[in-house]
């Protein structure tokens, strides 16, 4: 008997009219008209009492197309669930053969941002008995640490059957601190020699000292945060030298855009105290020439924190950001309401530009499929949210033993996928969301092996409508797709 697939998804109404019908099992997408979309709004999620009646109203030719795309099926819910598990397992196995790498030149930082989740680690760096401290000389990488990190990276790639090369993300603390310029230059020079390219997540305060390292084949992408107009940003992102961080960042981003072809990703951390100023900040970016600039991607993102019990909290759900900011960003090709908005939009690019399908996934991020973060303390961590914490430590790479992985810890992090999350397998977004952030799930429930939904379903329906509307609009003007395709740093 034919029925709507348990994994069919209907977007929010598109701003320009119509809806997007999508299969969360095949990745197929179609634009449907308003009348049909409004009918489906009462049926998806499935209302069995009305489903048969609705299918009977669908034209035979349309129904045949829907069968092919996977929106309707003769499979039972359990048979579909088995397909989800199988697909997730296969995709996870593939990703495990593509390890990803991050290097942390420096665990300390020259900023003291008011909401920084690394503050507990930084507070201990000058404490004598801290496991990671300046006293122990394991806060900043040195030449020998860099050498051993690359040896470990190439061994991990060889074990996975991969040739040397790919992208390495520089992370911190603050990776581009001018006090550590020599080791940063060694990292980049060594990586280039071995076929690697780079992205960096930086506060940008000393970016002007590293301009010659930026560009294609070197540090190709730079993520910097600007959290509001100067009067607000300088109170939130505080330079220890008391300089205006806003003025410094604006100057350095200008220099980077003038003298390099690196992509600049500007992240705006949003909470209830500054959301009303997002429009004012956008106008400042317009005046600077960054809006619709081919090298710039701008996006808002919610601020995450923890309550007294250690559970992750936020002032705004991601979907609420979409609701509040969608109309503000819609006129611009390179401005987005959140990091998930960019990621989901990019996953749709093939469907818009090549006629392929949405890029599904079996895991939320590479922390669960082979991400290795090399820190100055000689440890390897899986998750960048918990660098320096025992919960994320999966091995070590320094000393006579070289690369040494903790088999139990590695399996705990790298075995998490939709295949191992029964609570996610019946969700129509399972192969789109991937189960959510594993570390936040552990903070919330005590185990990595539980979902962390983060209001994903509501946010994705909004993004699906916005991204498709963006593409439709591009058909009558300059395409946004080139800008989106470049935004590949995990944000």
The pLDDT of residue 475: 64
DSSP-derived letter for residue 269 is E
Alpha-carbon torsion 36, 50, 63, 427, what sign? positive
Q: Distance between CA 398 and CA 404 in Å, rounded?
A: 9
Average pLDDT over residues 172-180: 96
The pLDDT of residue 300: 95
Of 74-88, 298-312, 412-426, 465-479, which range is least confident? 465-479
Residues 293-336 pLDDT 10s: 999 999 999 999 888 777 888 888 888 998 899 889 988 989 99
Side-chain half-sphere CA neighbours of 355 within 13 A: 0
Q: Where are the domains of the chain?
A: 1-75, 100-366
pLDDT > 90: what percent of the chain? 75
pLDDT band at 48; cut points 50, 70, 90 = low
- Distant-in-sequence, close-in-space partners of 133: CB < 8 Å, separation ≥ 6: 124, 125, 126, 127, 139
Mean pLDDT of the chain: 91
Length of the chain: 491
Does the structure show a pLDDT above 90 at 208?
yes
CATH code that applies to domain 100-366: 3.20.20.70
Which one, of 490, 380, 473, lies nearest residue 437 by Cα? 490
3-class state of residue 9 by DSSP: strand
Instruction: Tell how far CA 114 is from the center of its chain.
Output: 22
Alpha-carbon torsion 473, 478, 481, 483, what sign? negative
Does the structure show a pLDDT above 70 at 235?
yes
Q: Distance between CA 88 and CA 75 in Å, rounded?
A: 18
| Contact (CB, 8 A) for 371 and 102 | yes
Q: Distance between CA 135 and CA 462 in Å, rounded?
A: 49
DSSP-derived letter for residue 238 is -
320: enclosing H helix or E strand: helix 318-329
Residues 459-491 pLDDT 10s: 999 889 988 887 777 665 544 433 333 443 434
Which string of DSSP letters, residue by residue, matches 88-127?
HHHHHHHHHTS-EEEEEEES--SB--TT-TTHHHHHTTT-
Burial class (CB in 10 A: 0-12, 13-18, 19+), 116: middle
CA distances from 78 to 51, 71, 348 (A): 18, 16, 27
| Contact (CB, 8 A) for 306 and 312 | yes
Average pLDDT over residues 36-63: 82
């Amino acid at each position: 008997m034919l029925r709507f697939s348990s994994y069919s998804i209907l977007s929010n109404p598109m701003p320009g009219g119509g809806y997007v019908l999508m299969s969360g099992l095949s990745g197929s997408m179609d634009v449907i008209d308003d009348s049909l979309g409004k009918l489906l709004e009462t049926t998806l999620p499935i209302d069995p009492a009305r489903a048969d009646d609705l299918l009977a109203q669908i034209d035979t030719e349309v129904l045949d197309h829907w069968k092919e795309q996977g929106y309707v099926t003769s499979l039972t819910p359990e048979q579909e669930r088995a397909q989800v598990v199988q697909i997730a397992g296969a995709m996870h196995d593939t990703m495990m053969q593509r390890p990803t790498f991050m290097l942390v030149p420096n665990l300390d930082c020259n900023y003291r941002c008011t909401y920084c989740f690394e503050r507990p680690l930084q507070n201990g760096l000058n404490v004598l008995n801290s496991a990671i401290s300046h006293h122990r000389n394991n806060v900043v990488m040195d030449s020998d640490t860099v050498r051993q990190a690359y040896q470990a990276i190439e061994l991990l790639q060889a074990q996975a059957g991969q040739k040397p090369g790919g992208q390495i993300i520089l992370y911190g603390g603050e990776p581009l601190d001018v006090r550590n310029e020599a080791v940063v230059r060694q990292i980049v020079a060594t990586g280039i020699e071995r076929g690697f390219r780079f992205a960096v997540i930086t506060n940008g305060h000393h970016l002007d000292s590293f301009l010659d390292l930026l560009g294609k084949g070197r540090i190709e992408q730079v993520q910097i945060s600007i959290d509001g107009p100067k009067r607000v940003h300088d109170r939130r992102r505080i330079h220890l030298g008391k300089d205006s961080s806003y003025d410094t960042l604006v100057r350095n981003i200008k220099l980077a855009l003038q003298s390099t072809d690196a992509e600049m990703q500007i992240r705006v951390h949003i909470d209830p105290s500054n959301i009303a100023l997002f429009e004012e900040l956008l106008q400042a970016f317009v005046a600077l020439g960054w809006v619709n600039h081919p090298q710039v991607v701008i996006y808002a993102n919610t601020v995450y924190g923890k309550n007294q019990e250690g559970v992750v909290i936020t002032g705004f759900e991601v979907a609420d950001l979409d609701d509040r900011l969608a109309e503000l960003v819609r006129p611009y090709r390179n401005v987005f309401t959140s990091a998930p908005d960019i990621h989901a939009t990019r996953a749709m690019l093939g469907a818009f530009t090549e006629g392929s399908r949405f890029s599904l996934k079996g895991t939320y991020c590479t922390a669960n499929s082979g991400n290795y973060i090399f820190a100055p303390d000689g440890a390897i961590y899986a998750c960048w949210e918990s660098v320096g914490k025992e919960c994320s430590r999966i091995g070590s790479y320094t000393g006579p033993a070289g690369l040494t992985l903790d088999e139990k810890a590695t399996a705990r992090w790298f075995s998490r996928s939709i295949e191992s999350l029964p609570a996610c397998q019946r969700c129509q977004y399972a192969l789109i969301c991937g189960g959510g952030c594993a570390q936040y799930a552990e903070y919330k429930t005590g185990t990595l092996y539980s979902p962390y939904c983060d209001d994903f379903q509501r946010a994705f329906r909004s993004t699906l409508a916005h991204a498709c509307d963006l593409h439709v609009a591009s058909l009558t003007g300059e395409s946004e797709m080139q800008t989106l395709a470049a935004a590949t740093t995990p944000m």
